[in-house]
C-alpha cells in the first residue's frame, strides 16, 4: 500500500517550572526541553515527509512563542546532519515547551505556507497561539462557506487547518477570557471529522486534544515535571519514558497545562468510538502501541488469519514474500503457520522515498524504482506475495510484473492482509474518490467477493490468484469490538453525518461518471448535511 497517501503526525513536550529536573531532559536544562522535539518527530516521520516544524515557548525572549517550519524531512528541516547548524537552531528556538508536526498534504498545496504548526499573532498573550493538527474535517465545506459568509472574512489557504485556527480564534475573541478546555468544548460541537491537535500560547499554556470518536491516535506520558505527547507511543518510549507511564489519550479528552499544572479533562460526552483500523494495519510504526493494542501483534494476527484461509498447494518451492516493510509481520506469521519459508524476495530502496510523496503520473515510475526483486530467491518459486492492502493497485501491478520478469517466479499468489477498499476516506487519508480505488468495479452494489470476483481481480493485476481477508477479521486482529472501529472505507458506513454525506456525493459522481471532472469529493459537496 505504499502508494497510499497519509496524513500527519503531532508531538508536544512540556517541562514544568520548578526545582525538579527530569532525567529525560537535555543536559542544557529544562529551558532546552524543546531539543527533544526533533527526536520525537523522527519517530513519527512515517506519518508525513513533506514538511516538518515546531513552535517553542520561552518567557525569557521577546518572541514568546516562536515558530519554525520548512519543507523537507525532519533531518533536512532541523539540519540534523550538520552539527553546527542544528545547534544554532536548537539555541535560537530553545524553550521549556514545544509542539511539533510532520505533514503529508491531504489537502492544500505543497508549499511552505501549508507547513505546520500554524501561528496566529495577537497583542493579547492568551490570543497569541500556535497549533499543530492531524486529521481532516469532513464538514470543511460547510465551515468554510459559513466563515466566508460572515462580514469580510477571508481564507488564504484551501485547508481545514486554517479553518480550525479561525474557529479557535473565534472562541478566544469574546469579551471574557475562555479556558482552553472550554474552547475545545465549544469547537467540538461544530467539527465533524477526525483530529488530534496540540496548541501552545504566549501565556505558556498548552492543550493536547483527541477527537471524540478517537479516529486519530494520541499518546502521552507524564513523569515528574515532564509531559510529552505524540501521535504514536514509540516517540515517547524512545525518549526514555517507562512503559507503564505511556497511555493513550481517551477520545474526547484533552490534556492542558495552565499555571504550571497538568490536568486531564473530557470536553465531549460522545460515547461512540471510531478508531481508524488502518493505524494498526499500515500507518503506525510497528513498535507502537495504541489504545492498548500493539501494532506488531495486530499485524501478526492478520498474518495468522491469512494462513487459516490459504488453499494453495504447498511444496518445497513455495515461499512467502512480504512487500517491504509494513507487510513483514503479517508475512512472517503466515509463513510460520503454513510451515513454509518467509524470504525477502523484494529489497526496498530506502533512499527512494515513499511513493505517495511524488503522486500523480510519477507514481508508477517511482514504484518501479522502489523495489528490487531477487532472482536468487524468486526464480522457479511459487510465491505467496503478502501485502497490507491494495488501494489504487499501482504498486502491486508493478511488483507483479517485476517479480515475474526480473525475479523469474513460477507463480505469484497475492495475499492481502486487509479486506477490499471500496469507499473513500474523509478523515485524513488521501483517497477521496471511488474511481481511484481498485476494488469497486469488481464489487458492484456492495456485493461480497466471490471466487469469480477474486479471479477477475487477479487477472487484472497479472497474478495467478488473489485473496483478501474478510471484514470480520479486522476486529479480531486488532482486539477491538467492531462498533469501536471506523471501517468506512471497507463498508461505506461512516461514523459521522458529514462522512456519510460525502460518501453519497462520491457515489453520485462515480455512478454518473462525473469523476473525470477532477477534484476531491469534499470540494464538490454542497453545504449542510
Lowest mean pLDDT among 43-57, 178-192, 431-445: 431-445
Grid cell at residue 315: 511444496
In a domain, 529, yes or no: no
Same domain, 91 and 222: yes
- pLDDT, residue 518, reads 54
CATH of the domain at 421: 3.40.50.2020
Instruction: Count structural domains, the chain.
Output: 2
Q: Would you mind telling me the total number of residues written for the chain in this entry?
A: 529
Residue pair 437/431 in contact (Cβ under 8 Å)? The answer is: yes
Same domain, 192 and 329: no
In a domain, 283, yes or no: no
Work out the pLDDT band at 445, boundaries 50, 70, 90: low
Residue pair 213/274 in contact (Cβ under 8 Å)? The answer is: yes
More confident of the two residues 1 and 411 = 411
Residue pair 515/521 in contact (Cβ under 8 Å)? The answer is: no
> Does residue 367 have a pLDDT over 80?
no
Same domain, 316 and 264: no
Beta bridge partners of 371: 348
Q: What digits encode the pLDDT tens for the residues 193-237? A: 999 999 999 999 999 999 999 999 999 999 999 999 999 999 999
Work out the pLDDT band at 517, boundaries 50, 70, 90: low
Same domain, 317 and 211: no
Same domain, 268 and 297: no
- pLDDT, residue 220, reads 98
Average pLDDT, integer, range 387-399: 93
Q: How many CB atoms lie within 10 A of CB 245?
A: 16
Q: Which of 8, 276, 342, 425 is catalytic?
A: 8
Average pLDDT, integer, range 334-354: 87
> Does residue 447 have a pLDDT over 70?
no
Told to judge if 219 belongs to the known catalytic residues of this protein, a careful annotator would answer no
Q: What digits encode the pLDDT tens for the residues 244-277? A: 999 999 999 999 999 999 999 999 999 999 999 9
Same domain, 65 and 182: yes
Same domain, 129 and 238: yes
Same domain, 167 and 301: no
Work out the pLDDT band at 100, boundaries 50, 70, 90: very high
Question: In which element (H, E) is residue 478 found?
Answer: helix 472-478
Grid cell at residue 166: 479561525
Q: What digits encode the pLDDT tens for the residues 116-174? A: 999 999 999 999 999 999 999 999 999 999 988 887 778 877 788 889 999 999 999 87
> Does residue 390 have a pLDDT over 60?
yes
Distance separating alpha carbons of residues 526 and 514, to the nearest angstrom: 16
Q: How many Cα atoms are found within 13 Å in the side-chain-facing hemisphere of 331?
A: 26
**116-123 long-range CB contacts below 8 Å, 24 or more apart?**
116/8, 116/51, 116/53, 116/69, 116/161, 117/53, 117/54, 117/55, 117/67, 117/69, 118/161, 118/162, 118/165, 119/55, 119/65, 119/67, 120/165, 120/168, 120/169
Domain limits for position 156: 8-272
In a domain, 476, yes or no: yes
> Does residue 106 have a pLDDT over 60?
no
In a domain, 31, yes or no: yes
> Does residue 112 have a pLDDT over 90?
no
- C-alpha distance from residue 346 to each of 209, 291, 385, 391, 466 (Å): 40, 32, 10, 20, 19
Same domain, 360 and 497: yes
In a domain, 502, yes or no: yes
In a domain, 2, yes or no: no
In a domain, 3, yes or no: no
Average pLDDT, integer, range 21-30: 95
Nearest Cα neighbor of 203 from 274, 243, 259, 131 is 259
Cβ within 8 Å of residue 499, ≥6 positions away:
138, 192, 193, 426, 427, 488
Cβ within 8 Å of residue 510, ≥6 positions away:
433, 434, 435, 440
Residue pair 117/56 in contact (Cβ under 8 Å)? The answer is: no
Residue 267 in 3-state DSSP?
Answer: coil
> Does residue 452 have a pLDDT over 60?
yes
In a domain, 285, yes or no: no
If you ran DSSP here, which 8-state letter would residue 9 be given?
E
Distance separating alpha carbons of residues 227 and 97, to the nearest angstrom: 9
> Does residue 6 have a pLDDT over 60?
no
- pLDDT, residue 125, reads 93
Same domain, 233 and 348: no
Work out the pLDDT band at 177, boundaries 50, 70, 90: confident
> Does residue 467 have a pLDDT over 90?
yes
> Does residue 108 have a pLDDT over 80?
no
Distance separating alpha carbons of residues 168 and 186, to the nearest angstrom: 9
Given 272, 304, 319, the domain boundary residue is 272
Same domain, 304 and 231: no
Given 238, 272, 306, the domain boundary residue is 272
Residue pair 48/113 in contact (Cβ under 8 Å)? The answer is: no
Given 214, 243, 272, the domain boundary residue is 272
Nearest Cα neighbor of 140 from 109, 174, 106 is 106
Q: What is the mean pLDDT of the chain?
A: 90
Distance separating alpha carbons of residues 182 and 263, to the nearest angstrom: 13
- pLDDT, residue 360, reads 47
Residue 50 in 3-state DSSP?
Answer: coil
CATH of the domain at 24: 3.60.20.10
- pLDDT, residue 157, reads 76
Work out the pLDDT band at 49, boundaries 50, 70, 90: confident
Same domain, 84 and 179: yes
> Does residue 25 have a pLDDT over 60?
yes
Residue 521 in 3-state DSSP?
Answer: helix
Residue pair 308/248 in contact (Cβ under 8 Å)? The answer is: no
Distance separating alpha carbons of residues 370 and 366, to the nearest angstrom: 6
Query: In terms of DSSP bridges, do strands 485-486 and 275-276 run parallel, antiparallel, or are they unpaired?
Result: parallel
Phi, psi at 55, each rounded to 5°: -120, 135
Amino acid at each position: 500500500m505504499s502508494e497510499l497517501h497519509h496524513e500527519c503526525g503531532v508531538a508536544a513536550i512540556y517541562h514544568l517550572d520548578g526545582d525538579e529536573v527530569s532525567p529525560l531532559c537535555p543536559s542544557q536544562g529544562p529551558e532546552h526541553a524543546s531539543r527533544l522535539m526533533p527526536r520525537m518527530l523522527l519517530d513519527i516521520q512515517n506519518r508525513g515527509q513533506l514538511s516538518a516544524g515546531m513552535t517553542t515557548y520561552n518567557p525569557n525572549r521577546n518572541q514568546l512563542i516562536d515558530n519554525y517550519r520548512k519543507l523537507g524531512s525532519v533531518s533536512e528541516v532541523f539540519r540534523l546532519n550538520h552539527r553546527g547548524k542544528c545547534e544554532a537552531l536548537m539555541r535560537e528556538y530553545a524553550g521549556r515547551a514545544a509542539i511539533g508536526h510532520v505533514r503529508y498534504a491531504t489537502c492544500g498545496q505543497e508549499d511552505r505556507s501549508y507547513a505546520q504548526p500554524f501561528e496566529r499573532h495577537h497583542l493579547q498573550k492568551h490570543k497569541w497561539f500556535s497549533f499543530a493538527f492531524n486529521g481532516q474535517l469532513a464538514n470543511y465545506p460547510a465551515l468554510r462557506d459559513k466563515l466566508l459568509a460572515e462580514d469580510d472574512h477571508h481564507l488564504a489557504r484551501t485547508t481545514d487547518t486554517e479553518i480550525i485556527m479561525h474557529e479557535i480564534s473565534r472562541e478566544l475573541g469574546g469579551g471574557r477570557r475562555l479556558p482552553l478546555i472550554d474552547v475545545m468544548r465549544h469547537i467540538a460541537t461544530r467539527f465533524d471529522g477526525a483530529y488530534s491537535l496540540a496548541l501552545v500560547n504566549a501565556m505558556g499554556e498548552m492543550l493536547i486534544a483527541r477527537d471524540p470518536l478517537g479516529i486519530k491516535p494520541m499518546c502521552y506520558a507524564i513523569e515528574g515535571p515532564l509531559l510529552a505527547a505524540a501521535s504514536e507511543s514509540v516517540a515517547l518510549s524512545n525518549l526514555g519514558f517507562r512503559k507503564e507511564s505511556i497511555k493513550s489519550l481517551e477520545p474526547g479528552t484533552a490534556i492542558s497545562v495552565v499555571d504550571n499544572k497538568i490536568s486531564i479533562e473530557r470536553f465531549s460526552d460522545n460515547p461512540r468510538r471510531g478508531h481508524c483500523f488502518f493505524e494498526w494495519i499500515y500507518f503506525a510504526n510497528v513498535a507502537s502501541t495504541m489504545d492498548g493494542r500493539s501494532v506488531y501483534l495486530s499485524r501478526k494476527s492478520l498474518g495468522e488469519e491469512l494462513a487459516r484461509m490459504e488453499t494453495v498447494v504447498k511444496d518445497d518451492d513455495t515461499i512467502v514474500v512480504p512487500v517491504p516493510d509494513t507487510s513483514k509481520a503479517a508475512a512472517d506469521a503466515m509463513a510460520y503457520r503454513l510451515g513454509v519459508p518467509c524470504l525477502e524476495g523484494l529489497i526496498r530502496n530506502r533512499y527512494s522515498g515513499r511513493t505517495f510523496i511524488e503522486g500523480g503520473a510519477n507514481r508508477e515510475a517511482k514504484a518501479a524504482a522502489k523495489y528490487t526483486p531477487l532472482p536468487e530467491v524468486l526464480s522457479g518459486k511459487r510465491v505467496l506475495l503478502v501485502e497490507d492492502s491494495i488501494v489504487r493497485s499501482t504498486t502491486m501491478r508493478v511488483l507483479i510484473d517485476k517479480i515475474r520478469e526480473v525475479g523469474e517466479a513460477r507463480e505469484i499468489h497475492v495475499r492481502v492482509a486487509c479486506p477490499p477498499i471500496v469507499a473513500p476516506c474523509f478523515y485524513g487519508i488521501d483517497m477521496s474518490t471511488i474511481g481511484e480505488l481498485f476494488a469497486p468495479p469488481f464489487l458492484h452494489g456492495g456485493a461480497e467477493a466471490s471466487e469469480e470476483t477474486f479471479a477477475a481481480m487477479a487477472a487484472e493485476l497479472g497474478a495467478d490468484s488473489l485473496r483478501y481477508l474478510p471484514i470480520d477479521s479486522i476486529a479480531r486482529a486488532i482486539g477491538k469490538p467492531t462498533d469501536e472501529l471506523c471501517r468506512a472505507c471497507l463498508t461505506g458506513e461512516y461514523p459521522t453525518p458529514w462522512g456519510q454525506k460525502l460518501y453519497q456525493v462520491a457515489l453520485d459522481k462515480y455512478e454518473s461518471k462525473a469523476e473525470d471532472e477532477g477534484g476531491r469529493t469534499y470540494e464538490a459537496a454542497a453545504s449542510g448535511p
